[in-house]
Structure 1
């Protein structure tokens, strides 16, 4: 079982980081567009 090993899947970590960056970028862009509009 992979869950028994103290090993973090680098692909999962990368995906989580990409998702967080995408959320931050999306919220920042939406905030800027709200200020401009």
Structure 2
């Protein structure tokens, strides 16, 4: 039971981490798009 609980906790942390990375990359690409738009103008 404790082992399963540990696995659940690990996977929830892993899921949150990947979600954070995805959000960070998304915001980063948006910043890059803004920069490229400014260079184009």
Which range, TM-score by smaller chain? 0.7 to 0.9
Greater Rg over alpha carbons, structure = 2
Give the TM-score, by structure 2 length: 0.68
Runs of at least 5 residues in structure 2 that lack an aligned partner in the other structure: 37-41
Runs of at least 5 residues in structure 1 that lack an aligned partner in the other structure: none
Give the TM-score, by structure 1 length: 0.75
Equivalent pairs counted in the alignment come to 33
